[in-house]
Amino acid sequence: MIDINSKQYFHLNNEKISYLFYVMKNGQLGHLYYGKDLGDLTEDDLRYIACHNNKASGTVKFAPEFSTFSLADRMQEYPTYGTSDFREGAISLEQGKDILYPDFKYQDYSVSNQRPRNLAKPGAYSEAGESQTLTIRLLDQDHQLELKLFYTIFKHNSAIVRNSQIRNIGNDDIKIQNLQSLTLELPTSDYDFLQLSGAWIKERHIKKRPLIQGITKIESLRGASSHQENPFIALTAKNVSLNHGEIYASNLIYSGNFVSQVEVDEWGTGRLMTGINPATFTWQLKKDEVFASPEAVIFYTNHGYNGLMTQTHQFAKQHIIDRKWQTIKRPIVINSWEACVFDFDEAKLLKLAQEAKNLGMECFVLDDGWFGHRDNDRTSLGDWSVDRKKFPQGLDHFSSALHKMGMQFGLWFEPEMVFPNTALFKRHPDWVVHHPYSRYSIGRGQYVLDFANPEVVDDIYQQMARIISKCHVDYLKWDMNRNITEAYSPYLKKLHLPQGEFFHRYILGVYHLYEKLLTSFPHLLIEGCASGGGRYDLGIMFYSPQIWPSDDSDAAERLDIMSGTMLAYPLSAFSNHVSAVPNGHVRRITSLKFRQDVASFGPLGYELDLNALSFPQKQAIHDQIEWYKQRRDLLVNGSFRQLIPLDDHNKYAWSVSKSKEQIIGFFRKLAKPNDTLDQYLSLSDLNLKAHYTINQQMTVSGKMLASFGLREPYQFNASNANTAQVAGDFQSYLFELKQD
């Protein structure tokens, strides 16, 4: 997978892609190519693609001895601003009051076949024989700095994982102001910039804009990857469709402040960079100290959006999420929140749990309100002790009753927050994130704990571990409802460290708490949640095999959230709940069937008062759960493909396939009068020599399905009452295809 020629050319390739770079005449690294596999390359091939004897007009020579060489018109692997290149660079350093212009020259390389999973920090992992990692070592002799660039290629994926590491080998301190995780240079910018943007309760909608000269970027400055933006971006060819067209994409295995951007220069070439947001970042590096950027990943496909999803989903499932969750059944949960909010006791909860058990649910998740004196959302965060008024015999007694019932026990925490009326705050007011002035912001009545301080993380871990151990918790919902303001750490002040280190140290503290919990409780299923989808990223997914994608559980809104989310993240991570109507966030009323059909794709749950339902509603839920259980592995771990163009925001269809089975979901938000009678969904990945049974009613050849497609369900048109299969607004219809 990694070929090195003359210690100058480096070719990472598999059957899907080639990634090619080389050592330029100035000793720095130049980028040559990333795209479809080039096969075996001769030295003549390499010299030809690297030939760049011309110098663009209006540029500055890199050095007097290089008459035709300027970095302004060269594609580079890790560029530095201001050394004849005036585009934004991947690295910015200071020493005292001096700005440095480092000149990192190639020294040597090494190749490793090992990439074990390490809970200490999120990153890609692989098993034996699945990947190779190339490490390039560069040196700036003048400033006594060592830079290592890491490249990992996987045997069966188009992904290239990259990050950088800098070591101070001199005697003087330096400050890192910017250290991006990766740079990808493209010879053209004739792409649209696709981002997944939105807001609370409408996260990760697909938005596109053309690249033009200048910088196109998204970023977060909130301390989390955020509801508003997501670290994933894609550059899509102008002619891209579901199954055709080139796409380059990047994502960051990180959950804190980030930037993802593309800069287009005067010649129309593009430079993609992603990493920690330098706007809120400084890092002090003393002699012999090392700093490593988070890992980032790039993808390439020439098979359109479905080709991209094949790569991003496979990468996340095989190299980010712990693989054990592909074989462990995700429990069907009943979450207590909508049914009870804060108004409950043990008897009320057990009644709800028994009804859930009768309907086939498998895990009771006790949401907010079980601790301190938490009768509203303005108290008790930080004091994780059981509310004895609600649980006079203890939470372990309630958990034991659930387990005897045959139910798993899930519990809600918001470990990163604290209220000013808690014992924790009164003991340690210095554990709160705030600047040292009289006024600082408060959100939801709560403050953010200083997770840059290891003592804070350990205190919260000890509180959580006592509960998890004593109550035999199987499932943990980790919430985070407030972004960081007045980012200032008393802990860093005490250590005389720059406050610019806070945001990165904070998210490392979050990861450390995950690490401690999963080390102590390796079978604990942790569902990520950040006021819904405010931290839906590969960093959290490394620890949480599923994430609550949005507080908005309205099925119609979830169609758009899912369409965006699936471009970057697998279906197995998309946690679903069937909730009550009118929906609490949009007041929309949809049928139980529509809500259940949408929620069936991915891990399934319910969040409503089951005891308030009618007998027919309960029977429908029971039947749906039985149907889902028989197909759970397919619906959670199957391969996901879109069947209707992504710019159609009224009609949606997707397939999930595994082995010889496919389930296809069709959804329409608003009915159209007298619509076209016969419309077809284009299917792929069919065996043309086999036959397929559709909903146990009709058998059709694979060749016929591939040629004509799958007929959409008949929509009511005022004249076809006897044959219509869907009618009214918010339609849903499921097809099940089985290969003979």
CA angle 261, 263, 265 (to 5 degrees): 175
Stated as kind and residue range, the H or E segment containing 661 is strand 661-668
Six-digit token pair at 165?
């590491």
Could you give the maximum distance between any two Cα atoms of the chain, in Å?
A: 85
Instruction: Please choose, from the candidates 106, 179, 166, 169, the residue with its C-alpha nearest in 3D space to the C-alpha of residue 136.
Output: 106
Partnered with residue 216 across adjacent β-strands are: 262
Question: Which residues, including other chains, have CB under 8 Å from residue 442's CB and lie 6 or more apart?
Answer: none
- Coil, helix or strand at residue 407: coil
Question: Which residues, including other chains, have CB under 8 Å from residue 729's CB and lie 6 or more apart?
Answer: 669, 670, 671
Six-digit token pair at 573?
């991570």
Residue 535 near residue 486 (C-beta atoms within 8 A):
no
Question: How would you class 371 by CB atoms within 10 Å of its CB: exposed for 0-12, middle for 13-18, buried for 19 or more?
Answer: buried
Whether residue 582 has a cis bond before it, omega within 30° of 0: yes
Q: Is 85 a catalytic residue?
A: no
Alpha carbons 587 and 463: distance in angstroms, whole number: 38
- The helix, strand and coil proportions of the chain, stated in percent and rounded to the nearest 5, come to 25, 30, 45
**CB neighbourhood size of 517 (10 A):** 23
Residue 121 near residue 181 (C-beta atoms within 8 A):
no
Q: Which of 450, 551, 554, 597 is catalytic?
A: 551
Q: Which of 73, 383, 479, 597 is catalytic?
A: 479
Residue 699 near residue 683 (C-beta atoms within 8 A):
no
Alpha carbons 83 and 72: distance in angstroms, whole number: 9
Instruction: Work out whether strand 710-711 and strand 680-681 pair parallel, antiparallel, or are unpaired.
Output: antiparallel
Alpha carbons 261 and 229: distance in angstroms, whole number: 12
**DSSP letters for 1-43:** -EEEETTTEEEEE-SSEEEEEEE-TTSSEEEEEEEE---S--H
Alpha carbons 577 and 60: distance in angstroms, whole number: 59
Q: Catalogue the E-assigned strands of 114-201.
A: 131-140, 145-154, 160-168, 174-179, 182-186, 191-199
Question: How would you class 59 by CB atoms within 10 Å of its CB: exposed for 0-12, middle for 13-18, buried for 19 or more?
Answer: middle
**CB neighbourhood size of 287 (10 A):** 13
Amino acid at 714: Y
Q: Is 685 a catalytic residue?
A: no
Partnered with residue 133 across adjacent β-strands are: 112, 152
Residue 531 to residues 141, 477, 496, 548, 722, Cα–Cα distance (Å): 48, 11, 33, 9, 45
- Coil, helix or strand at residue 509: helix
Amino acid at 38: L
Amino acid at 583: N
**Residues with catalytic roles:** 479, 551
